[in-house]
Amino acid sequence: MKFFSGSAASFPLFVASTWAADFVTSGGQIFTPGFAILDAPQPGTPLGGDTIEVALDVSANGKLNLPPYDPDSPSLIHNITIFLYSYETGRNFTITNGTASENNASLGDIMLSEPGSTVKHVKWTWPDCLIGDGKPDSSDSDRGDYNISIRQSFRLNDEDHYTIFDVPISVTNSIEFVGNNPTCDSVSNPLLTPEEIDAEAANSIGVLFAPGDATVIQQTTGSGAGSMVFEWKSAAVGLMTLTAFHFFSL
């Protein structure tokens, strides 16, 4: 039995509200309906540069083993896919769907990247229609407000889930041509309506593994007779600070 004796109580738990969604954050981390914890970017951040970088802890801060998993384990991550979409520009790009496309225009399985590391740094070269600087300069610009949509397919204690976690960011910082920017069409998907996606139903499990969450993770490692059962249980949080604050629209 593994106990999380960490300093949960020393990090205040923030429930941050924004124009679109509430975020549960603590110590700079953003908790999701799944094992992944978002380290960066923070919601509402203006982004640019050569790549967009999404830093995800895929172990619920060390509580879930890293792959390769025991396929029979009661808890594991099947896969994580990430899209970048906007109802304002009508775009829905693939950052990763598990299968790398030519020149990593969209990325392969992030769970296999950086083996041994609980944090996966997903770096994706901006597609060409996002090149520019500043706010969108015309109504047909593809720059502007987007969501990074993190989709987790996982098994928790023998139950399968598929959850959707959207993080608002804006593509307003400078993005230059770096030579291998994929064409937008090569990484585009149809844009579905919120009703078709129904994130609320998908996310009925709620945000997991924030400080104070008592979810017990049952998991096995290895196979056959050598199989070991681990459980992670959170320590009770003695002192918890609840603070609400707002992100301002840019």
Ligand X SMILES: *[C@@H]1O[C@H](CO)[C@@H](O)[C@H](O)[C@H]1NC(C)=O
SS (H, E, C) 100-129: CCHHHCCEECHHHCCCCCCEEEEEEECCHH
- Considering only residues 171 through 230, tell me which ones interact with ligand X, judged by CB under 6 A: 187, 189, 191-192, 197
Classify the phi-psi angles of 44: left when phi > 0, otherwise alpha if psi is within -120 to 50, otherwise beta: left
SS3 content of the chain, % helix, strand, coil (to 5): 10, 40, 50
Angstrom distance (rounded) from CA 41 to CA 48: 12
Bridging pattern class, strands 22-26 and 29-31: antiparallel
Residue from 69, 83, 209, 232 in contact with ligand X (CB under 6 A): 83
Interaction pattern, residues 111-130, with ligand X; x per rule: CB under 6 A: --x-----------------
Which uninterrupted H or E stretch holds 81?
A: strand 76-86
Nearer to ligand X, 20 or 237 (CB): 20
Residue from 18, 101, 141, 218 in contact with ligand X (CB under 6 A): 101
Could you tell me the smallest distance in angstroms from the CB atom of residue 92 to ligand X?
A: 4
Angstrom distance (rounded) from CA 144 to CA 133: 10
Residue from 26, 61, 75, 86 in contact with ligand X (CB under 6 A): 86
Residue from 25, 147, 219, 220 in contact with ligand X (CB under 6 A): 147
Nearer to ligand X, 104 or 215 (CB): 104
Angstrom distance (rounded) from CA 173 to CA 83: 19
Interaction pattern, residues 150-169, with ligand X; x per rule: CB under 6 A: ---x------------x-x-
- Considering only residues 8 through 27, tell me which ones interact with ligand X, judged by CB under 6 A: 20-21
* Residue showing tokens 């600087």: 133
Name the site residues for ligand X (rule: CB under 6 A).
20-21, 78-79, 81, 83, 85-88, 92, 94, 97-101, 103-104, 106, 113, 145-147, 149, 153, 166, 168, 187, 189, 191-192, 197
